Structures are given as structure tokens and as C-alpha cells.
Structure 1
């Protein structure tokens, strides 16, 4: 069971963001940028794209702090969900463009290169995610790699793995729970 301290912090940081406190965004960035960048890089396998997703996610958080609902989960899970959603959308857009579906790919030029510290933290987070995913049981790992990191739907993953969509959904949820548990034991800075 989680302690109430993170919930209080989540609410406090949300209030500060809503008031327009740039220092709150800085704190949030320092805390979660490695997670965001690492997850985006894991999904997209592209450093520049991961940097763009990181900027996009924190811009969204800044502009829409009121859309965070502490009753639905932690700030960490909200930011992780935003990151995953944006990375998968980008991946699907790129696949559609490569397949000739006429989809427009929105590319943004990097505003400034990440610092060495940011790159090291992002690489460490990505390595931790890879280690945890690699340690999952094979059935969970395969499903998680196809759906969460590969951008496939439950139905597509189920077909590829020769299982039912319900089984694919169950495996993905269990895999994500195990991943979240393993990552939540990481020491915080």
C-alpha cells in the first residue's frame, strides 16, 4: 500500500502548476524527465523523437495541469500514460506514412540539445526498463513488447501471438503492473 505522502506531493505540484509556478514545472521535470525520455526512447527507438516527446509531454503538463486527477492515480502514472500515448501515436503515424496511407507526420526540430546529465539519466532509466522487461516471464514480455512498446492493438498482438484478445489484454496489464512495481522500487533523487 502506498503512503499518503506522494498523493499530497502530487496535489501540491498540481496546484503550483495551475498557479503558473515555473519552479513546479522544474521540479516535475527533474523528477520525471528520465522516465519520460526513457519510455519514449524505448517505444520509438529514436533519440530525437524521444526528446520531442519529452518536450511535448511537459508542455502538455504545463498547459493542462488541471486535467490531472489524483483520484485516478499518481502524477508519475499520469505522466507515464501521456508519454506512452504520444509515443505510440507517433509510431503509428510513422508506420502509416511508411505504408503510404497519406498520414501527416508532425516533426518538430529540437529546441536545445539535452545536457549530459539528462542523457545519462535517460539512458539509465531506459536500461532499467529494458532490464525489468527482459526479466518478465516470456508470455508477458512478448505481449508487452508488441502492445505497449510496439504500438500494436490487443487484437493485432493476439493474432500475432496466437492467443485471444482477452488473454493479450490480461497479459499486458499484468506485465505493466509488474513493470510499475519494479520501477517504483527505484530510489528517488
Structure 2
């Protein structure tokens, strides 16, 4: 199920329902109630995400994830524990935290890739931060599959090299070798990109 602000139009009946009525309809699987819930709370969700993340595109992604989570997790809503609005805000905070964690992991990978991408300012305040991430992801995609896997497990799932060895079944020495070679290739590729940019 995809949710887009312009495409989600609840019926007048659903839109006029109380929060409690919408919650009951949502739990029952009524998509019209979902549309009304989205229409009623998505501006708040987007505002919270925008304030925390400082990025309109990420805020839009988080908003999508929140309402997908609302729909998929609707059977977990318990009115005795609080309002549907409070429940949605709780989901929003978790999705924002996930987005911030993902950003931190990306920055760790950029940092590990070396000085080819200077990180003298917090990346969230640098307009080229998105480009940095794209460059790293592009170079990562060029690595041999084993090196890609080790770096993704290390920087996107926060696994230690010992944990990666257990996950993959590879000897620890092999994991260390893939990590070392992968980072070396990332640094080389990123420096090459930076040098090429200077000559274009």
C-alpha cells in the first residue's frame, strides 16, 4: 500500500468521524478510515520529522513509513493505553530515531572511507552531504560482493567483525581482509572521483 498526500482522499463520512471511531475502523481494516487518519495526522507527522531531521525528503519518507506502520500494526493499537494520535506520535518518534540512526551509520561509512570526503562540519548542515552519501553508495556498489557484504553488515547493521564472521560463516581473518580491502577500494574510488571533479 502506497500513501501519497495528493492521492489519499477520505470520504466525507470518514473525515467527520471522531478519533475513537476512526481508530475502531482502522483496526477493523477499513481503508477509508486509514485515509482519514492519514489526512488528519500526516501534517503533524511531517512537521515532527522535518524538525528532527532538517530534510524535507527524509521527512516525507518517514511520513510514508509511519502510516505504513500504522496500517500494518493496526491490530496492536490499544485504546485503553492512549489515543490514536498519541499512538501515531509514538510510531513517528521511533521512525525518526531509525532515520537518525541510519544517517549516523552512513556517516560512519563516509568517515571510514577516508579524507577524500572532508567532514569538517556536521554532515546534516552541509549541502553536499547528500552527494557524499550517493558517492559512497555508488562506490560501495562497485566492490566485489564479499567486500560489499562485510561493509554493509559493519556499517548498516552495526555488527563487529566477529559477529560478521558468525553471520557469514567466514573465518575472522577473511572478514578482516574483506573489510580492509573494501575500505581501501572505497578510499581509492572516492579520491578518484574528487580528483576528476577538479578537472571537469
Q: Aligning the two structures, in what range does the TM-score lie when normalised by the shorter sequence?
A: 0.3 to 0.5
Higher CA-based Rg: 2
TM-score by length of 1: 0.47
